[in-house]
Amino acid sequence: MLVLGIETTCDETAAAVVSRDAEGRGEIRSNIVLSQLDEHRPFGGVVPEIAARAHVEQLDLIIKKAMAEPGLMFSDLDGIAAAAGPGLIGGLIVGLTTAKAIALGAGKPLIAVNHLEAHALTARLTHGLAFPFLLLLVSGGHTQLVAVEDVGSYRVIGSTADDAIGEAFDKTAKMLRLPYPGGPEVESMAKKGNPKRFALPRPMLGRPEPDFSLSGLKTAVRLEAERIAPLSNEDVADLCASFQAAIIDVVLDRVRTALSAMRAAKRAPNALVIAGGVAVNRAIRGALQLLSTEIGIPLVLPPPELCTDNGAMIAWAGAERLARGLTDAFDASPRARWPLDGAGTRPKESAGG
């Protein structure tokens, strides 16, 4: 089956076509992503109204490209999927409404996809991974450890009490006057720095529940920086390195705890999967690689372009749901908040349509 996927939850306007064969193997036929980085850069972060304005101007052109690349017509498709949440409501409305119009106009089913579910299922597209697996979802908006048990069956076993990891990276970058977007800048500065110079806290380390809390770490970075200001380039590099080292220690500890919990519950995962924008960070990827070898669990790292927001993951999640007969009615709501284990991702609560 062929599914078109539309992603407009934040600051990328994206569309893709993905195929899924009878054995459940996926193939990306096209994957077009237009980033709005330049529009948001002057504001040092994503501005919701600016994002919505950019989506409505560009989305149909991006979809057109995604269809033209593999030479497909809308009549060739089996379903139209769009991320219906969670995310910025202005963008969600544009993406979901466009998907509904295409679905109605082409006489195809609509699949309203949870953006987090799409991140969760990406490893099945790229690696054909079998359930269950443990997902570490780390981005600017989300930080979660999820037991992925089946399509529509997710248990969030760890989440953050305050900031997302990507958010902590961005705020640290902003504090240190690094360019936007800050995550990659912190990573590249960290490479040149001494991770042991500053003794930063490792919040939640050793706690029995695999949750996160990042705001204390962010504050600690600020206090250290204020203590030694004005900052030299070397100071900034050392702060970044020390910050990233703390993040890595926390991530490794929280992943270990989550793995133990899944194993103790006799639901030993087949793999550890990492997704989300922060999954592009090489230091974090490297550290998780070592951990996977040490404790004997395969690590699945989707390619960077499928870790950040994209349409292929939405199309794939749409295909997985469609293959199980899960479709949505044309009055489906965009949802700014939509927890992965909340109503609407579970099969029984999906409306026919």
Partner 1 sequence: MLVLAIDTALDACSAAVLDADAEALLAAQTLDIDRGHAEALIPLVERVMKVAGVGFEAIDRIVTTVGPGSFTGLRVGISAARGFALVTGKPAVGVTTLAALAAPHLSESDAVPVVAAIDARHGNLYLQMFGSGGRSLVAARACGLREAVRAVALGPVRIVGSAAEMLAAHWPANATPPLAVEPRGAPEIIWVARLGAAADPRQAMPRPLYLRPAEARPQETQHLPRR
Closest separation in Å from C-beta 98 to partner 1: 4
Residues 322 and 310: their CA atoms lie apart, in Å, by: 19
Whether the CB-CB separation of 316 and 5 falls below 8 Å is answered with yes
- Of 182 and 302, the one with the shorter C-beta distance to partner 1 is 182
Closest separation in Å from C-beta 337 to partner 1: 16
- Of 209 and 330, the one with the shorter C-beta distance to partner 1 is 330
Tell me the CA end-to-end span of the chain in Å, nearest whole number: 18
- Of 108 and 124, the one with the shorter C-beta distance to partner 1 is 108
Closest CA to 313 of 118, 126, 110: 118
- For 68, counting Cβ atoms within 10 Å of its Cβ (0-12 exposed, 13-18 middle, 19+ buried), the class is exposed
Residues 173 and 79: their CA atoms lie apart, in Å, by: 41
Closest separation in Å from C-beta 94 to partner 1: 5
- Of 150 and 226, the one with the shorter C-beta distance to partner 1 is 226
Is the preceding peptide bond at 208 cis, omega within 30 degrees of 0? no
Closest separation in Å from C-beta 196 to partner 1: 21
- Of 153 and 333, the one with the shorter C-beta distance to partner 1 is 333
Whether the CB-CB separation of 110 and 141 falls below 8 Å is answered with no
- Of 227 and 266, the one with the shorter C-beta distance to partner 1 is 227
- Of 266 and 337, the one with the shorter C-beta distance to partner 1 is 337
Closest separation in Å from C-beta 332 to partner 1: 7
The pair of structure tokens assigned to 291 is 């951990």
Closest separation in Å from C-beta 269 to partner 1: 37
Spatial strand order of the sheet with 110-114 comes to: 26-35, 12-20, 2-7, 79-85, 110-114
Contacts of 301 (CB under 8 A, 6+ apart): 274, 279, 285, 288, 307
Whether the CB-CB separation of 98 and 82 falls below 8 Å is answered with yes
Closest separation in Å from C-beta 297 to partner 1: 40
Residues 135 and 146: their CA atoms lie apart, in Å, by: 5
SS3 19: strand
Closest separation in Å from C-beta 42 to partner 1: 6
- Of 22 and 232, the one with the shorter C-beta distance to partner 1 is 232
Q: Enumerate binding residues for partner 1 (CB under 8 A).
A: 42-45, 47, 49-50, 52-53, 56-57, 59-60, 63-64, 74, 89-90, 93-102, 104-106, 174-177, 222, 225-226, 229-232, 235-236, 329-334
